[in-house]
Amino acid sequence: MKHFICSTLLCLCVLAAQAQYRPFDRFKNMDGVTSVYVTKDLLGMMGNKEIGGIKLDGIANKLKSVCIMTSRKKSIKERMRNESRLLTRRNGYEPLAQVNDKNEHVAIFRRKLTCGINEYVVMADEKKECTVIIITGRLTQKDLKHVLTR
């Protein structure tokens, strides 16, 4: 009985870990989506460079990964918009900022992961294209502001 309970708990933990909501993962390898994924190791080698308009000076060592996905295809843009609607507190995301200007909408969300690591999702929805930037690392909101406002 003891082994059964331990096995059941182990299975539940594995299922809970797999059930974590990972926004936009389905778009990474989709036709019609341009995606760039950069790991911590490559970010460390880049130093104070720029990736897709994101300035890394001074924060590259705090980053775990950067993923940028963009599409101009109407059907995919709509699917990305729908996925962004799931970035809710219920799924662990906290809205930090929203900007609406004519045909542009930008929203920034944060999800706290483990050990001080945060995931920031920047959703930029424009008339011609939709871009999603996912930044993961030990970034504070101040660091994020530094990255996005340069």
| Residue 147 CB-half CA count within 13 A | 27
CA distances to 14, 17, 35, 69 from 123, in Å: 30, 25, 14, 10
CA distance 59 to 99: 24
Write down the pTM of the prediction: 0.73
| Radius of gyration of the chain, Cα coordinates, nearest whole angstrom | 17
Q: How many CB atoms lie within 10 A of CB 32?
A: 12
Measured between alpha carbons, how far is 95 from 98 in angstroms, rounded to an integer? 8
Higher pLDDT pick, 61 / 117 = 117
Average pLDDT over residues 124-150: 80
Q: Is the pLDDT of residue 105 over 60?
A: yes
In contact, 96 and 118? CB cutoff 8 Å: no
In this predicted structure, what is the pLDDT of residue 46?
Answer: 64
Summarize pLDDT for 58-103 with one digit per residue, the tens: 677 788 888 888 889 988 888 888 888 878 888 888 998 888 888 8
